[in-house]
Structure 1
Amino acid sequence: MLSNYRRLFAVPHVLSLLSWSLVARFYMPGQMIAVTFLVVEWTGSYTYAGVVAGAFTLGMALVGPLRGRMADRGGSDRLVLVCGAVFATGLVVLALFPASLWWLAVPLALATGLFGSPANQIVRALWPRLTRGPERQAIYAAEATTQELLFVFSPILTAGVVAYWGPRWSLLLLALLALAGSIGFALALRRAGVTGPAPAEPGTAPTAGASGTGSAPGRRRSLVLHPVLGLLFAMCLLMIAGIIGTDLMIVAWANELDAPEYVMVLASVWALGSLVGGMVSGAVKGPPHLVRRCFATTLGLALVLPFLPPITHLPTPLLATPVLFLAGLAVAPTLAAVMGRIGDSAPSDRRAEAFGWLATAMGVGAAIAGPLAGGLIDGFGIAGGAAATVGALLVASVLSLFAVRRRADTVAVSERAVS
């Protein structure tokens, strides 16, 4: 079962690029925790905390495709460095903000989010360039799996700093890690020699046109109009809305009990389930079953609902950890399957742009989930916010049925054209 991973990490530069891209993204899972605790400390409102946290992700969403096109043209190392420096500065400013100016947190978060790390979209666009065949599916599974390490250790570190020194110090720490990760990832890109434009690959989707036909030479249509990519982007928007809503639910649950240390345990157990599921799925040979994984993710989170207040008031949230572990098992495998489909479906010279649209979809989903889940938690309790996240995941699962069907139709048309 481990043969896929052994072949994968024997490919030059793969391990270095993966490791440093993860360091550059380390701040992401902990950022919502730190921001939520800080804004609730200022205002006492989860709704406003969700708006501020959503503004960060909305900022990243607005520039995802633009930064992808910039990376496709070359100079990705410089792009990473500039974004890392500006983003770290924005976190420092927010950490030093006086509570009386809480109303300025939204525009500051939005402006800072514009410079969030592009490491995820850049490195995901590189995998088809560096790997082939089973290695390609293995690297997407490995990335989705190792990314779960961030959701294990970033919440632990962030919540620990919040518990002992306060949310301001946690933001300062995340700013330092974001800057250090950006510098390391930029140097890894230079060592690997992949900062330039991607070479054209035979057999990939054409650059022009959403479906590859009927476009004037040199004309570039939006990848959102691609018959498969558009559905995958919509799926990711809803999936991330569900995942971010779950994160906010965990934070609210711990904060209502005045015990921020519970965030470390609950979020880490959920991420640990995803880590285990991702490791197993990456080692198994054969193509992933996207629809099955999507519905498994939805079912897993639905199992958590009966254990949440006000439906059930457990003596301690720790009693729900086995169910949270089960809920996480399908998360990384599902994300890996989606990223693999995007990498295979996007034109070779526009992959960073495609993953930029993925970042946009995820950012919009997170921006919607923050205030929506926060408002439902304020009005209907923890279970109310969780119910909305289950609904978002269910709609994403239904869309996966159409995405698989459209991909099969597209492949069939291509095969007829070749013959």
Structure 2
Amino acid sequence: MSPPVHGVTDLMRVQGLPRLFVWSMLGRLNVSALPIALSLMLVRWSHSYVVVGLVFGALTLGQGAAGPLRGRAADRGSAVRLLVITGIGYTAGLAVIVTLAARAPASWWPVVVLVALVTGLSAVPVSQISRAVWPKIVGSELTAVLYTAEATASEVVTVTGPLLASLVIAVAGPYWAVGVTAVLTLVAALVFGASLGRAGVGGEPLPQRGERPVRRSLLTEGPFVRVVAISMLVTAAIFAVNLSVVAWTQNIGRPALAGVLTACWTAGSLAGGLALSTFARGLPRALRVAGMAAGMAALAVLLPPVMAAVPLWPVVVALFLGGTAIAPTLAATYEQIAEASPEDRRAEAFGWMATATAGGGALSAALTGMLLDLAGPALPVAVGAALAVVALVLTVLGRARRAPSDETAEDVTA
């Protein structure tokens, strides 16, 4: 008898999940909305893109450094309390930055950089907490479907955030856009936390009797380190494509196309996520990563200097088809992180993933910039494809090493 097939409709039937899911997505809007709003605000204030880069660098550094610490706090204490504290701290930090940009002279930019660092340390861990609690809420049978739905919905958030910021900027200006982003983050954190409490998964963990076990760092576990490395490589590869496409549109004198091509890439990811949730739920993880690598390789062949001039439509097709593997690949990394970490340390595990992806994105941005100056957009996209191939190798190795233990378990239960 074949096992039952589960889909998105099954998720909708889980009590309280739709509300949790929606607010977890709203809690991430700041990630895509803030860059546009904060950049315009800081440029108008300081008239310097160097200051913008320093502020965002400090914000990212704080977010990455505190990821595992926030996760550990969620695992060992109350996730609801953590969401309230970080929500208030993050909103207050952005409020201070807005106030300084509105009232202080531009010479105060070092103070803004320092405040940005502290604000990053207070970033609300909605994504890592939600990914840690999904298996508790839906059970093992629906976890893969839920992670795929999350990766797909995250693409919608990625597109919606900049649109929201642009709308507020057009109506009221960048200062208000930063303020609206901050308030939305706080409200989402509070409501998401309240929903977690209602679902019974956000309170204090049960006290342990007897001696507390010695907790080794998750980074001492080979399988976990391998999955974190895969996450970092996948993120770096995606960043390489995003930046290279923007650079290509600038080079051909059609910068307005950057948004269109990014939308094609995102639309492909949405289509891939929906297809995986509906028609190909059992698609092997290695095949997903292989599809991403193949799509990036195909795109690299179409860009200069490999092809000096190419019609727009092949690039659009390559971006859309290559994008279909993005959401499925991200969903696979979420599943692997959850499997490679103990249940009572999953928030910490996803914190390490957040740190790794932030580091991968930062390193990729720096490397891509150098490669673009050196040889044009084809080379960094090809490097992105190579990084995806390395992620594929690590995925296959992880599966090969897990297979013998799986077979042993099956023999014991048979």
For the 8 Å contact 1:26–1:150, the answer to whether it is kept is: yes
Whether 2:151 is the aligned partner of 1:144: answer yes
> 1:368 corresponds to which residue?
363
> 1:212 corresponds to which residue?
none
> 1:283 corresponds to which residue?
278
Whether 2:77 is the aligned partner of 1:82: answer no
Output the amino acid matched with 1:355.
F
Output the amino acid matched with 2:12.
F
CA-CA distance at 1:375 after TM superposition? 4.0
> 1:211 corresponds to which residue?
none
> 2:330 corresponds to which residue?
335
CA-CA distance at 1:259 after TM superposition? 7.4
Larger radius of gyration: 2
What does residue range 11-50 of structure 1 map to in structure 2 within 5 Å?
Answer: 11-34=14-37, 42-43=47-48
> 1:155 corresponds to which residue?
162
Distance 1:243 1:287, change over 3 A: same
Distance 1:72 1:233, change over 3 A: same
Per mean C-alpha deviation after superposition, the further-off stretch among 55-64 and 167-176 is: 167-176
CA-CA distance at 1:32 after TM superposition? 4.1
Distance 1:134 1:40, change over 3 A: same
CA RMSD of aligned residues (A): 3.6
Distance 1:149 1:62, change over 3 A: same
Per mean C-alpha deviation after superposition, the further-off stretch among 36-45 and 287-296 is: 36-45
CA-CA distance at 1:25 after TM superposition? 0.4
Quick one: distance in 2 between partners of 1:267 and 1:408? Answer: 38
For the 8 Å contact 1:68–1:356, the answer to whether it is kept is: yes
For the 8 Å contact 1:241–1:369, the answer to whether it is kept is: yes
Quick one: distance in 1 between partners of 2:249 and 2:175? Answer: 18
TM-score of the two chains, using structure 1 as the length reference: 0.81
Residue by residue over 1:129-150, the C-alpha shift from the partner in whole angstroms, topping out at 9 and shown as x without a partner, is 1122431211111111111111
Q: 1:325 aligns with which of 320, 323, 336?
A: 320
Whether 2:349 is the aligned partner of 1:354: answer yes
Distance 1:159 1:104, change over 3 A: same
CA-CA distance at 1:83 after TM superposition? 1.6
Distance 1:286 1:151, change over 3 A: closer
- Is there any run of 5+ residues in structure 1 with no aligned partner, and where? 201-206, 208-215
Larger relative CO (CA 8 A, sep 6+): 1 or 2? Answer: 1
Distance 1:333 1:171, change over 3 A: same
> 2:74 corresponds to which residue?
71
Q: 1:129 aligns with which of 132, 136, 158?
A: 136
Residue by residue over 1:190-223, the C-alpha shift from the partner in whole angstroms, topping out at 9 and shown as x without a partner, is 22222125679xxxxxx9xxxxxxxx97111111
Quick one: distance in 2 between partners of 1:51 and 1:392? Answer: 27
Quick one: distance in 2 between partners of 1:112 and 1:167? Answer: 18
> 1:229 corresponds to which residue?
224
> 1:213 corresponds to which residue?
none
> 1:183 corresponds to which residue?
190
CA-CA distance at 1:349 after TM superposition? 1.4
TM-score of the two chains, using structure 2 as the length reference: 0.82
Of all paired residues, the percent bearing the same amino acid is: 35
Q: 2:401 aligns with which of 403, 406, 411?
A: 406
Aligned pairs, number: 403
